[in-house]
Amino acid sequence: MLTIRDVAKKAKVSVMTISRVINNPDKVSAKTYQEICQTMEHLGYQPSHIAQSLVRKRTYTLGVVMPNIKNTFFNSWFRSLEEHAKSFNYTLLLGDTGEDIKHEMNHVRLLHSHRVDGIIIVPHSCDTVSYLIKSKMPFVVADRFIPKVKSDYVLTDHYAGAFEAVEYLVSLGHKKIAVLKGPGLIYPDIERFRGFLDVMKKHNIKDPELYVRNCDFQESLAYEAVKDLLGRRDPPTAIFSFNSIMTIGTIKAVQSMKLSIRDNISLIGFDAIPGQSIFRPAITYVLQPIEDLARNAVQILLKKIEHPNSRKKYRLFLKPKLIIGESCGYVK
Amino acid sequence: MLTIRDVAKKAKVSVMTISRVINNPDKVSAKTYQEICQTMEHLGYQPSHIAQSLVRKRTYTLGVVMPNIKNTFFNSWFRSLEEHAKSFNYTLLLGDTGEDIKHEMNHVRLLHSHRVDGIIIVPHSCDTVSYLIKSKMPFVVADRFIPKVKSDYVLTDHYAGAFEAVEYLVSLGHKKIAVLKGPGLIYPDIERFRGFLDVMKKHNIKDPELYVRNCDFQESLAYEAVKDLLGRRDPPTAIFSFNSIMTIGTIKAVQSMKLSIRDNISLIGFDAIPGQSIFRPAITYVLQPIEDLARNAVQILLKKIEHPNSRKKYRLFLKPKLIIGESCGYVK
DNA sequence: TTGTAAGCGTTATCAC
DNA sequence: GTGATAACGCTTACAA
């Protein structure tokens, strides 16, 4: 691999002149600048980012730790993160955990050893967040909130999103509302469920937990749960699914039972499903402000990197939006 | 940031002992090993991958350059690449170009400066491939084939895939087959179109190019093209779309015209659409062997990294598979 | 089993 | 405007 010394030798100047051409072109005469640029191009030389990072103590790399890149919400969000990071000349290093706590810690350690300048994390465990605090690396928590540990965060107001969704169902006359949720261990899950319960309470709907199922955010469990729920003697009239994966499971279950979404069962979900734009009936869903979430996460993280001693706290709650499709009908 | 020296000081041993604990635990007494592990954990020390890479001249990082991470085929493929790379203790650095040649070269340069051990690239331009050859970095070309430059590659037999798809349409009685293709500049596009033409020729279907449209792999152009084609006095009876993005555009156009896929117009595409598993009628499509493509790309690249002087050539053509759904009907 | 010294490819600092 | 030298954090080779 070519080094700066090779270029220096070829150009018959010192390594410092090469280094200046790369970093401070104005501190070098126009003529040598031209010549050296040509030499570098001709040789096919690229400065070693590794060596630069070592001496500069900056990698211009940001780490991202997230639970599932296959989830529509997360991959759109990641795409947005990339674009913003790129605009500040930062590269992203991705760690996808598959909702596995062990992987999460491994990824954080890996990013730590890669000396990323900062980390954007959607945490599953508070251990990782504690680790980050201890490591003194700048980081921002996204999408979730870990009550036990202090951190800066950017997240959707999941409570408001769920509240609005369930209000909408109730306004259509639904009282028997099924909820497909997770195990209640992470913030979005807890908040969405709280939003659901509060609407039920507000409208004095009794026995709100009658049709609530923990499907662990998995398609197959949602599929089974829906088949079971709709097979009951007194089935729910609407289903509220807490993520797009479970919404897919729900749709498959309804299709397999030859029932009709909207006519037989209303459906509302968090996040757009894959193929949202062509699926019919269009599924009504809660749209998270993905672009805003990404932009703010990057901006806050970069501020923290630039001002490591600032004690400023960043706590952002962004409002989601209910996108009304055609998957919810009036109760007869 | 903590260094190996801090740990050495704390543990009252030399830096070499720490280095050995990290890299050759068996060359250190069990007792000191235990103690030092605890010290490192207690301090929250992580060896600097940067410094390690500099001295080892290996980063254990692979670069991936691809045209569009939003495309279902490419993001599934990337996921597969990640899993395989991880199983060999490699990290991936992603460069998504958006089909823009300038970005492609920038990404390759960035990966070069990051001193990745090798690159897996889906090239758009032969300049980048020439650059890679010149740089002497090990690399594997995926999905595409650049006739002008020599390289190792792993790709789908696009010709065979298209041939099978069109044969299927003809077997249902279709003669008026529309093709939504790209500009004919990249290998898959060329090969798929060649497959189409050969089937038309084989069955003596005249004027095969009558319904062929260049939609540049874009949804909006496909949408317009389909609206135009289906509005003709003598419309096609089937549409063959060369990627999932254009298939989406096609579906939207058909929906907007209140026509029925299968009954009014048959549809077949390359690659699964987002939401493939729930969309009805199920779209018939050509499935590329994504997992195999990914596994082989990683394996070949690692072999080239391990044996930089080997002159062995790797050229792999993998057969795709036609997945028959319900989107194609017999011609009345 | 443990330690010393040189060097990986850059840049910061200071001198010319 | 240009150059010599030390340093960044680690490992390899050699010595004790």
Q: Is residue B130 part of a domain?
A: yes
**Least confident residue range of A262-266, B64-68, B162-166:** B64-68
CATH number at residue B187: 3.40.50.2300
Q: Residue A21 CA to C16 C1' — how many Å?
A: 20
Tell me the average pLDDT across A196-213: 97
Instruction: Give the bases of strand D that a protein CB approaches within 7 Å.
Output: 1-5, 7-13
**Least confident residue range of A279-288, A315-324, B74-83, B315-324:** B74-83
pLDDT for the residue A231 = 97
CB < 8 Å to B255, chain A: 278, 280
E strand or H helix that includes residue A135: helix A126-135
Q: d(Cα B258, Cα A254) in Å, to the nearest integer?
A: 24
Tell me whether residues A47 and B273 touch, CB distance under 8 A: no
pLDDT for the residue A71 = 80
> Quick one: A150 and A295 in the same domain?
yes
> Quick one: B183 and B272 in the same domain?
yes
pLDDT for the residue A72 = 80
pLDDT for the residue B69 = 78
E strand or H helix that includes residue B169: helix B158-171
B82, B113, B136 member nearest A48 (Cβ): B113
Across chain A, mean pLDDT equals: 95
Does B99 have pLDDT greater than 90? Answer: no
Amino acid B134 reads K
Tell me the average pLDDT across A238-263: 97
The protein residue nearest nucleotide C6, judged by CA to C1', is B55
pLDDT for the residue A97 = 85
- Tally the domains of chain B: 3
B157 or B150: which leads in pLDDT:
B157
Tell me the average pLDDT across B260-273: 97
A 46-85, residues with C-beta < 7 Å of strand C: 47-48, 50-52, 54-56
CATH number at residue B12: 1.10.260.40
Q: Is residue B210 part of a domain?
A: yes
- Partnered with residue A95 across adjacent β-strands are A65
Q: Residue A113 CA to D5 C1' — how many Å?
A: 29
pLDDT digits (tens, 9 = 90+) for A119-134: 999 998 899 999 999 9
> Quick one: A225 and A274 in the same domain?
yes
- Partnered with residue A118 across adjacent β-strands are A62
CB < 8 Å to B44, chain A: 131, 134-135
Q: How does residue B79 score in pLDDT terms, banded at 50, 70 and 90?
A: confident
Does A296 have pLDDT greater than 80? Answer: yes
Q: Does the nearest atom of strand D lie within 7 Å of A84's Cβ?
A: no
Tell me the average pLDDT across B66-95: 89
B267 or B125: which leads in pLDDT:
B267
The protein residue nearest nucleotide C8, judged by CA to C1', is B55
- Partnered with residue A147 across adjacent β-strands are none
Given a contact cutoff of 8 angstroms between Cβ atoms, the answer to whether A182 and A67 are in contact is no
- The per-type count for chain A, helices as H runs and strands as E runs, is 12, 12
pLDDT for the residue B207 = 96
> Quick one: B252 and B303 in the same domain?
no
Q: Is residue A173 part of a domain?
A: yes
**Least confident residue range of A212-226, A291-305, B73-87, B161-175:** B73-87
> Quick one: A281 and A297 in the same domain?
no
pLDDT for the residue A152 = 96
> Quick one: B107 and B143 in the same domain?
yes
Q: Residue A107 CA to C4 C1' — how many Å?
A: 35
> Quick one: B127 and B173 in the same domain?
no
pLDDT for the residue A33 = 95
Q: Is residue B330 part of a domain?
A: no
Q: How does residue B305 score in pLDDT terms, banded at 50, 70 and 90?
A: very high
Instruction: Give the bases of strand C that a protein CB approaches within 7 Å.
Output: 1-5, 7-13
> Quick one: A163 and A284 in the same domain?
yes
Q: Is residue B91 part of a domain?
A: yes
pLDDT for the residue B96 = 87
Does B306 have pLDDT greater than 80? Answer: yes
Q: Is residue A212 part of a domain?
A: yes
Q: How does residue B105 score in pLDDT terms, banded at 50, 70 and 90?
A: very high
Q: Does the nearest atom of strand D lie within 7 Å of A20's Cβ?
A: yes
> Quick one: A175 and A281 in the same domain?
yes
> Quick one: B278 and B295 in the same domain?
no
Nucleotide nearest to A45 (CA to C1'): C9
Does B155 have pLDDT greater than 80? Answer: yes
Q: Residue A214: helix, strand or coil by DSSP?
A: strand
A 26-45, residues with C-beta < 7 Å of strand D: 27-29, 31-32
CB < 8 Å to B93, chain A: 91, 93
> Quick one: A71 and A117 in the same domain?
yes
A59, A79, A255 member nearest B69 (Cβ): A79
> Quick one: A178 and A280 in the same domain?
yes
Tell me whether residues A277 and B69 touch, CB distance under 8 A: no
Q: ∠B288-B292-B298 over CA atoms, to 5°? A: 125
Nucleotide nearest to B19 (CA to C1'): D11
0.85 exceeded by pTM: yes
Q: Which two tokens stand for residue A193?
A: 């469920």
Q: What's the domain range around B100?
A: 61-156+290-319
